[in-house]
Amino acid sequence: MLELNLKPLRPYLTAGLMAIAATTAVLPVTPVWAQTRTLPDFTDLVDQVGPSVVNIRTLEKVKASAAGNIDEQMLEFFKRFGIPVPPNTPRAPRPDPSQPDEDQPRGVGSGFILTTDGFVMTNAHVVEGADEVLVTLTDKREFKARIIGADKRSDVAVVKIEATGLPAVKIGDLSRLRVGEWVMAIGSPFGLENTVTAGIVSAKQRDTGDYLPFIQTDVAINPGNSGGPLINMRGEVVGINSQIYSRSGGFQGISFSIPIDEATRVAEQLRISGKVTRGRIGVQIDQVTKDVAESIGLGKAQGALVRGVESDAPAEKAGIEAGDIITKFEGKTIDKASDLPRMVGNVKPGTKVTVTVFRRGATKDLSVTIAEVEADKPARPAAKSESRPPVAGPAQALGLAVSDITDAQKKELNVKGGVKVDTVDGAAARAGLREGDVIVSMANTEVTGVKGFEAALAKIDKSKNITVLVRRGELAQFVIIKPAR
């Protein structure tokens, strides 16, 4: 066996270890929690992007009237909001047709240069109703702008000034934008040109009920910032500052910006045709609740509940029915109901797409031909035809009395069958059922008439929740009848 004699090396080893210990002792040890990052410096970004941001002033032509008098529109405003009119307030005289129109300031907003040849993007509400639009650059040059197009639904507008060699912005990639990332805004809050504010992205895909999902930030945005750019740390535009959440009218820490990818898609159509063409399939939709998803076997609360189908619309022609839950559009999952109109709206009319629906416990793929968005049609009143006498039976245990519906009602509601609720009490009333509702399915079983309704009800465990699909007028909804505890 080989043995090593380390005694001769011991002095050298000891000296080496002492040297290492001495070196280590002088190295600073900084805890992870104590390490900080330096704050961002926006100066270079302002120099880079600032010249691409413009101030927008709008004018409207009005008839000259006596100063200090209240016109009819202002009086109507007072009436509508319940504001008392001061006594002995002089009324504005009616405009004299012989007097020339006067240009009056209407509003102030912001915008940014899209192309070097003078196309400028802003908000639709900034230029709405304007008779004249004036664009001022950072070098103080002022141009009269021509409105190329404005889209109220997305709140995007494009105007054109006659100039060349302008500093255009760089468009950012929304897929790279992260919550918590630093962003900056440049605009004209309260008319103060070239004002810079900064903050972070608070949320993405924020649904506020509008057509587009917004970027939420805590960047200070105030009146006059509308239409200005939201800029990332790479100097790219990622959004258009559009709205704020406020109880006072001023900034309170929550602002919303239109995602730039959606805005550029709209702007491209405005530049080509002056308007935006969107697709539609003709359905009225609602959110799918957790209780409904679980009770019908969908599992996760996702998709768009079809509450109504417009007569002769693409959805009806494709076989989509009220009560269906649209779960996918062209293979893309619909997480929430508001996703559907955005997906459909981005499809060119005339295109055939595949829509996946969940109906009575099973999924089904349907082919739909997209139509063009048109003006909303008023809802038709429900049929007032007399129904047959109510039938009593097992339904009374739920507090229901139902009857068959007439052929006229079936045609009016566009259903194959169902039963009409004549009286409602007890558990059914607590669930929200009303007299006049038409029950078209129960526990994922289609109801064709009273006999079918009674047969389906007899097979159901009355001690568990019962999911009922009802038609109320032209709209459908799920109602969950819970047993008494």
Check which CATH number belongs to the domain holding 174 and give it: 2.40.10.120
pLDDT band with cut points at 50, 70 and 90 for residue 67: very low
Does the active-site annotation cover 125?
Answer: yes
Residue 384 in any domain: the answer is no
Does the active-site annotation cover 155?
Answer: yes
Q: Which residues belong to the annotated binding site?
A: 125, 155, 224-226
Residues 52 and 64 in one domain: yes
Residues 295 and 334 in one domain: yes
Residues 166 and 257 in one domain: yes
Residues 322 and 361 in one domain: yes
pLDDT band with cut points at 50, 70 and 90 for residue 216: very high
Residue 26 in any domain: the answer is no
Which two three-digit tokens encode residue 335? 């997480």
**pLDDT value of position 105:** 73
Residues 136 and 245 in one domain: yes
**pLDDT value of position 145:** 95
Q: Which residues belong to the annotated binding site for substrate?
A: 125, 155, 224-226
| φ, ψ dihedrals at 15, nearest 5° | -65, -40
Does the active-site annotation cover 202?
Answer: no
Is the pLDDT confidence value at 5 over 60? no
Residue 34 in any domain: the answer is no
**pLDDT value of position 280:** 92
Residues 207 and 255 in one domain: yes
Of 206, 241, 275, at which residue does a domain stop? 275
In the set 65, 71, 117, 125, the catalytic residue is: 125
Residues 121 and 182 in one domain: yes
Neighbours of 272 (CB within 10 A): 10
Is the pLDDT confidence value at 77 over 70? no
Neighbours of 354 (CB within 10 A): 13
Of 298, 347, 352, give the one whose Cα is nearest residue 326. Answer: 298
Neighbours of 448 (CB within 10 A): 17
Place of tokens 């045709």: 273
Residue 257 in any domain: the answer is yes
Q: What is the CATH classification number for the domain harbouring 446?
A: 2.30.42.10
* Tally of domains in the chain: 3
Residue % of the chain over a pLDDT of 90: 42
Residue 9 in any domain: the answer is no
List, for residues 312-325, the tens digit of each pLDDT value. Answer: 999 999 999 999 99
Mean pLDDT of 77-83: 48
pLDDT band with cut points at 50, 70 and 90 for residue 260: very high
In the set 155, 324, 404, 422, the catalytic residue is: 155
Residue 388 to residues 57, 184, 381, 406, 449, Cα–Cα distance (Å): 66, 67, 20, 7, 11
Residue 148 in any domain: the answer is yes
Of 259, 275, 291, at which residue does a domain stop? 275
Which two three-digit tokens encode residue 272? 């080509």
Q: Where are the beta strands (DSSP E) in 362-410?
A: 362-369, 371-372, 400-404
User: What percent helix, strand, coil does the chain show, rounded to 5?
Assistant: 25, 35, 45
Is the pLDDT confidence value at 32 over 50? no
Q: What is the mean pLDDT of the chain?
A: 81
Residue 385 in any domain: the answer is no
Q: Letter for the amino acid at 192?
A: L
Instruction: Concatenate the DSSP letters of all residues of 238-278 into one string.
Output: EEEEEEE--SSSS--S-EEEEEHHHHHHHHHHHHHHSS---
Is the pLDDT confidence value at 89 over 90? no
Residues 269 and 292 in one domain: no
Q: Please state, in angstroms and rounded to a whole number, the distance separating the CA atoms of residues 44 and 225.
A: 21
Is the pLDDT confidence value at 81 over 50? no
**pLDDT value of position 52:** 96
Higher pLDDT pick, 33 / 404? 404
**pLDDT value of position 424:** 82
In the set 226, 338, 387, 441, the catalytic residue is: 226
pLDDT band with cut points at 50, 70 and 90 for residue 241: very high
**pLDDT value of position 30:** 52
Higher pLDDT pick, 463 / 346? 346
Mean pLDDT of 226-249: 88
Which two three-digit tokens encode residue 458? 């007899």
Is the pLDDT confidence value at 376 over 50? no
> 133-144 burial by CB neighbour count: b if 16+ within 10 A, else e?
bbbbbeeeeebe
Instruction: Concatenate the DSSP letters of all residues of 107-146 into one string.
Output: EEEEEEE-STTSEEEE-HHHHTT-SEEEEE-TTS-EEEEE
Of 275, 309, 342, at which residue does a domain stop? 275
Residue 397 to residues 424, 428, 472, 484, Cα–Cα distance (Å): 11, 9, 22, 11
Q: Which of 198-202, 249-253, 398-402, 464-468 has the lowest mean pLDDT?
A: 249-253
Residues 256 and 244 in one domain: yes
Residue 13 in any domain: the answer is no
**pLDDT value of position 103:** 66
List, for residues 130-187, the tens digit of each pLDDT value. Answer: 999 999 999 999 999 999 999 998 999 999 999 999 999 999 999 999 999 999 999 9
Is the pLDDT confidence value at 84 over 70? no
Higher pLDDT pick, 425 / 246? 425
Residues 46 and 120 in one domain: yes
Higher pLDDT pick, 60 / 216? 216
- Domain holding 325, by residue range, is 279-372
Instruction: Concatenate the DSSP letters of all residues of 435-469 into one string.
Output: TT-EEEEETTEE--SHHHHHHHHHTS-TTS-EEEE
Residues 302 and 265 in one domain: no
Residue 341: its H or E element: helix 339-345
Residues 78 and 200 in one domain: yes
Q: Please state, in angstroms and rounded to a whole number, the distance separating the CA atoms of residues 218 and 60.
A: 33
Q: Considering the entire predicted model, what is its pTM?
A: 0.67
